[in-house]
Amino acid sequence: MSIFRKKRLRIRIYGETALRKTAAEIAEIDDKIKTLAEVMINTMRSADGVGLAAPQVGESVRMCVLDVPSRRDASALSQGEMSLLPKMPIVLVNPEVLPTTKELVTTEEGCLSVPKIYAPVTRPARIMLTARTLTGELLHVECAGLLSKAVQHEVDHLNGILFPDKLEADEMSKIAGELKKLRKTRGR
């Protein structure tokens, strides 16, 4: 049976090679890509995630889905948060990010591919996101807050990068044992 008939796909776990590939640009948003996006949204939601990138389900293409919750404190929302948070879940095709500030923020991150492990990751506080939506519309918006962090985390997946790669040595040593266990039991 084609994977595209499935409602959900298996999420690849830390140690699996699918997570380490650089994903390919999407040349055309065809029915296959649209179906993959739909199945990825189902997979993300049933796993209770805020984001999922195609390599996490074994598809090496530059697409991710996001389901970032709205902020209660709606005072200084970035343009990206204002336009995208009300539309969740969203699909980003060929997303690119560029920091728009030198300011860095450190916040706890987790990942569906690194289950039950959390650690503080440092990233630029604001980024310019450029991407296509599933209907081909061009997005070019500045994102801050959890949205900025989630987009950066998902674009890392498209480049074969996982959040533990970004940790300071002392934080890495705290989770090294758990990562080793994941690699042994689930990775291949």
DSSP state for residue 34 in the 8-state scheme: H
Helix (H, G, I), strand (E, B) or coil at 72: coil
Using CB under 5 A, which of the segments 22-30, 57-65, 106-114, 136-144 binds Zn ion? 106-114
Q: Compute the Cα dihedral for 69, 71, 74, 77 and give only its sign.
A: negative
Least Å distance, CB 163 to Zn ion, is 7
What residue has token string 């890509």? 33
Q: Which of the residues 154, 168, 171, 178 is marked catalytic?
A: 154
At its nearest, how many Å lie between Zn ion and the CB of residue 130?
Answer: 20
Near Zn ion by CB under 5 A, which window of 5-13, 34-42, 107-115, 178-186?
A: 107-115
Pairwise CA distance, residues 71 & 125, whole Å = 16
CA dihedral 169, 126, 98, 18 (to 10 degrees): 50
Residue 38 annotated in active site: no
Contact between 19 and Zn ion by CB under 5 A: the answer reads: no
- Contact pick of 91, 111, 119, 150 for Zn ion (by CB under 5 A): 111
Minimum Å distance from CB 185 to Zn ion?
Answer: 19
- Mind telling me the catalytic residues? 154
